[in-house]
Each structure stands twice: as structure tokens, then as C-alpha cells.
Amino acid sequence: AKQEGRNHCCVYNEAMEHNAMDSLWLHNELRYAIERNQFCLVFQPIMDARGEVVSAETLLRWYHPERGFISPAEFIPVAENSGVILDIGNWVLEEVCRFVVRMRSSGQDVPAIAVNVSARQFNQSGFAPQLFDLLERTQVASSAMELEVTEYALLNNVDAISERMAALKEHGLHIAIDDFGTGYSSLSYLQSLPLSRLKVDASFVQKIGEDSASDAIVKAVVDMGHSLGLEVVAEGVETKEQLRYLQQLGCDYFQGYLFSKPLAEGDFITYIQRQRQL
Ligand code: C2E
Ligand code: CA
Ligand code: CA
Ligand code: CA
């Protein structure tokens, strides 16, 4: 019995340690992921109501040689906690610029690329000036890039946030509120910020057609965006039924598996080229 008790204790501890180990492991490995070339970017097209690609969101992928593919949903929170997100975020911005330059020199037109900017990254006082430097250095137009920030990134000093956003907008960068509807910001607060777009979170989109209450909520979110004077993007659109309803609501842009999964660079270029031939 004593033996059994000890085993129980061990199993319990192992399970607990496993969790802690996991984020410790992620934390350690993340520090080397950039220099070991383990990150890459994929691109998911964003369409207008006519079905044309107007922009694309870039999403980070981490391929670890032993663990294989690790989802950003798993490692971004760890990176955010440890601060490594700042290096990763800079890598993403630089990589997007390199991508745009590469495309330009091969004569390929690319739509604007939307980049996810984490709360910690966005709240760095040097964020805007460093980004302007990068664009200047790489000779990439501000209109080639858009920024996506969550409401969570805006829970800071209001004046500092609106100043930063105003500087970005003045420089020609559009900002979208990501995952709209899942955060806590008040409408009057959002109204005071120089935003361009609002992305309706996929969790709302995917409830379309479930019942009349869910449909009413999606309508309310889209209407809210429009009354704030913003363009509305629906993310996570998977079915024709969802698309039809969103179009009926006057939603401006659409993104999701119905059109395309996030694509590796080469496939993304092929997707754009094929689209232009239609
Ligand atoms: P997000 O910004 O909300 O990105 C959308 C997520 O939904 C992506 O997952 C995308 O692949 C997925 N998605 C797109 N269309 C569909 C669909 O039709 N159905 C479903 N079920 N899912 C769809 P992903 O790539 O795993 O990224 C997860 C989250 O990780 C992102 O959520 C974003 O918060 C974060 N993330 C990704 N890349 C970066 C990055 O470069 N920087 C930062 N800070 N965060 C990133
Ligand atoms: Ca996003
Ligand atoms: Ca989103
Ligand atoms: Ca989302």
C-alpha cells in the first residue's frame, strides 16, 4: 500500500511537472528558434465581396526538428510571457519586408500583408519608430503592410496608445482590431482610436445558422463595426451559408478555409496568379 501511495504521488507530480516542463521546454527552445531558422511565414488570402484577393494575413509557423510542427496558439502565449515575443515579432516584420522586396524584384504584385502584432510588442515605446526605420531601410511602402492588434493590446495608457496609432496611421499604416468581440474594450474607447478595420472573431462567424440568437449577435458585431466607421472583416469563414449571411449583412471582407487555408509562399503566389487570370 505504501508503495502504491508513493506511485500515486509520483504520477501526480509527473503530470504536474509535465505541464511546467512543457512551457519551460518551449521557453528554452524558443530562444534559439530564430537563429536555428525554425520559423517561417504562411499567407492566408482575404477577399472582397466580389471574390478578389485584397490582402493576406501572414501567420507564423514553427517547425521544431524533434517535436515537429508547433502551433502559434501554443507558443505565442509562452513567447509573450517570456518576452521572446519581441525578437519573434521583429523577425516577422523583417521577414514580411524581405518577402515584399523579393516579390517586387521578381516582378510579382503582392496584396497588402496583414501582420499580427502582440500586445507586448505594440506597447513598446519604440514600436512605431522602429517599424518606420525598417520600412525605410528596406524601401517597402507603408501601404504594403497592415497591422492586427487585439483589444488586449489596447488595455494600456489611452493617450500613449492613441498617439502611437495616430503616428502609424499618418505614416500610412492601417490598423485592424483582431478577434473583435472577445475582448473588453468599450465602444467609446474604440471610437476614439484611429482604426481602419475590425475583424469579427471566427467564434462568432462559426455560429452563423445555429440559431437566431447567434445570427443576431453576428449582425450586431458587424453593425457595430460599421457604426464606428470601420471596414469589417470576417475571419474563419468555412461555409457558403456563413458567407451568404455575412454578405447580406454588408460585411466588407472575408477570410477562411472556404477560400483558402494559410499557404506557403510559393502556393500563395500561385493562388494570386491564378486568381488574376480569372
Ligand atoms: P488569429 O490572428 O485569429 O489568426 C487566425 C487563425 O485562424 C489562424 O490560426 C488561421 O490559420 C485560422 N483560420 C483561418 N481560417 C480558418 C477557418 O476557416 N477555420 C478555422 N477553424 N480556422 C481558421 P493560426 O495560424 O494557428 O494562428 C493562431 C493565432 O496565433 C493567431 O490567431 C494569432 O493570434 C497568433 N499568431 C499567429 N501568427 C502570429 C504572429 O506572427 N505574431 C503574433 N503575435 N501572433 C501570431
Ligand atoms: Ca490575426
Ligand atoms: Ca483573428
Ligand atoms: Ca481569432
Which pTM does this prediction carry? 0.92
Q: Which tens digit of pLDDT belongs to each residue from 190-225? A: 888 999 999 999 999 999 999 999 999 999 999 999
Distance separating alpha carbons of residues 49 and 251, to the nearest angstrom: 8
Q: Which tens digit of pLDDT belongs to each residue from 263-275? A: 999 999 999 999 8
Query: What is the CA(201)–ligand 4 centre distance, in A?
Result: 5
pLDDT tops 90 at residue 152? no
Atom of ligand 1 nearest to the CA of 92: 41
Dmax of the chain from CA atoms? Answer: 74
Query: What is the CA(135)–ligand 4 centre distance, in A?
Result: 27
Find the DSSP H helices in 59-176. 72-82, 85-105, 119-122, 127-138, 158-170
In this structure, of 50-54, 71-75, 177-181, the range with the lowest mean pLDDT score is 177-181
Query: What is the CA(198)–ligand 1 centre distance, in A?
Result: 15
Whose C-alpha lies nearest to ligand 1, atom 45?
A: 116
Which ligand minimizes its atom distance to the CA of 153?
1
Atom of ligand 1 nearest to the CA of 115: 41
Cβ atoms of 214 and 208 within 8 Å: the answer is yes
Pocket of ligand 1 (CB under 6 A): 44, 59-60, 71-73, 76, 89, 92, 116, 118, 178-179, 202, 235-238, 256-257, 262
pLDDT tops 80 at residue 11? no
